[in-house]
């Protein structure tokens, strides 16, 4: 993986679950930050996107919102 990734999420979110399941399916390990438990992560997300919406996959410093867009991106980049 040459790109830098961070996934802002929290486990109780059904949209986050879709992304986490896709990561598992593709056997990808991406650093995650729980915005419910980590107030610093929540502030980072707000400064990146102007909101608290999760999931948010940050790719080389650029945020990608919407679970379907994230799943489609991951499949395009990593599915065999």
- The Cα–Cα gap between 67 and 76 comes to 14
In this predicted structure, what is the pLDDT of residue 80?
76
CB 31 within 8 A of CB 7: yes
Domains of the chain and CATH, by start:
15-78 (3.40.30.10)
What's the whole-number mean pLDDT along residues 14-29? 97
CB 58 within 8 A of CB 64: yes
In angstroms and rounded to an integer, the radius of gyration of the C-alpha atoms of the chain is: 12
Which pLDDT tens digit goes with each residue over 39-73? 999 999 999 999 999 999 999 999 999 999 999 99
CB 72 within 8 A of CB 39: no
In this predicted structure, what is the pLDDT of residue 1?
59
Q: pTM for this structure?
A: 0.94
């Amino acid at each position: 993986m040459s790109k830098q990734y961070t996934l802002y999420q929290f486990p109780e979110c059904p949209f986050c679950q879709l992304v986490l399941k896709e990561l598992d399916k593709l056997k990808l390990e991406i650093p995650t930050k729980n915005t419910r438990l980590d107030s610093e992560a929540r502030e980072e997300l707000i400064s990146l996107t102007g909101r608290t919406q999760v999931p948010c996959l940050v790719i080389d410093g650029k945020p990608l919102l919407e679970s379907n867009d994230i799943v489609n991106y991951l499949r395009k980049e990593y599915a065999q």
